[in-house]
Amino acid sequence: MSGAMALPEGDQDTFLVVGFVCYDLIFTSPHYPEEDSMVRAVDYHKRRGGNASNSCSVLSQLGAKCELLAPMTTDENAQYMQDDLKASNVAFHNCPIYPECMTPFTSIIQSIASGSRTIMHYRPDGFPETNANDFSKLNLSAYKWIHFEGRGLPEPLKMIDIIDAWNAKSKKQIPYSVELEKRAEATKSLISKGDFVFVAKEFARYLGYNDALSALNGLAQQVKPGATIIVPWGEQGAMARCSNGEIVSSKAYSPACIVDTTGAGDTFLAATIFYLSQNKSVAESIDFGNRIAGAKCGMKGYSGIN
């Protein structure tokens, strides 16, 4: 396992991750419960969740400066999440706050018998998404990389237009990545965006692809010219189509014992963009992503992942 990466001197600016934060309750069960039955969990823990929030935890563990942009509330669960963000060294000062809302909640059942992970998510009606207006208030010069979780569309498309306009006027160029994960028609609008397009296996299957290579080949004509497509595929590792059309792959690094796979995809993504931002090759970057995500599967949460 690679150790924590110190960013090069003078290159300490921030990763911005735009998306969602919620409150997770994770139960580890001997098997997935039958309907209308009671199962005694063998383990239980609560934590700050949400794809963007998880990726921030990992970036921070890797030694990167990072910031979360996600809607938040002021209730008891929001307080827990904010305390945890502070403890994890993740900035969140630009998050829009909605005192009238309740924090979204997720209950996750991890089955030891099958390795499955079943997620029940509650997002209160009318709970807002980050919007382009929130994004337009940011000082973009602070960021070295911007990642979009890929939700609340079409707002991320407008945010990407803001970055494109900023990049067109600036000497410094901010690369950005998008993730396609949510099974929704609107998510498809992100395929042609992003210098780096991450396609979760969940979404690849939704599009009708049964393996990573088919997804890479099928999406190759739909991304913008020069974009890289990256497809993580659970215990098979990950594959990518580089900007020049070359296909690269990296195997998964299975831990001695699978403990907690919740957030494996978010971990892979964070570790991969961490390496990409240092101009490592796509092959090296997905390999690093697999190493860190594999280590994460062998432990609860993200603390000590590096």
The contact set with ligand ADP (CB under 6 A) reads 200-201, 232-235, 237-238, 252-254, 258, 261, 264-265, 268, 290, 293-294, 297
Give the strand pairing for 22-29 and 105-111: parallel
CA 114, 116, 119 angle in degrees (round to 5)?
Answer: 150
User: Is 6 buried (19+), middle (13-18) or exposed (0-12) by CB count in 10 A?
Assistant: exposed
AA identity, residue 131: N
DSSP state for residue 4 in the 8-state scheme:
P
User: Is 212 buried (19+), middle (13-18) or exposed (0-12) by CB count in 10 A?
Assistant: buried
**For residue 175, cis peptide bond before it (omega within 30 degrees of 0):** no
Structure tokens belonging to residue 161? 């237009």
Residue written as token pair 């599009």: 207
Could you give the CA distance from residue 269 to residue 263 in angstroms, rounded to a whole number? Answer: 10
Nearest distance from C-beta of residue 248 to ligand ADP, angstroms: 13
User: Mutual orientation of helices 264-276 and 51-61 as an angle, nearest 10°?
Assistant: 50
- Report the side by side order of strands in the sheet with 228-232: 90-91, 66-69, 14-18, 143-148, 176-180, 196-199, 228-232, 238-241, 247-250
Indicate left, alpha or beta for 162 from its phi (over 0: left) and psi (-120 to 50: alpha): alpha
Residue, CB closest to ligand ADP = 265
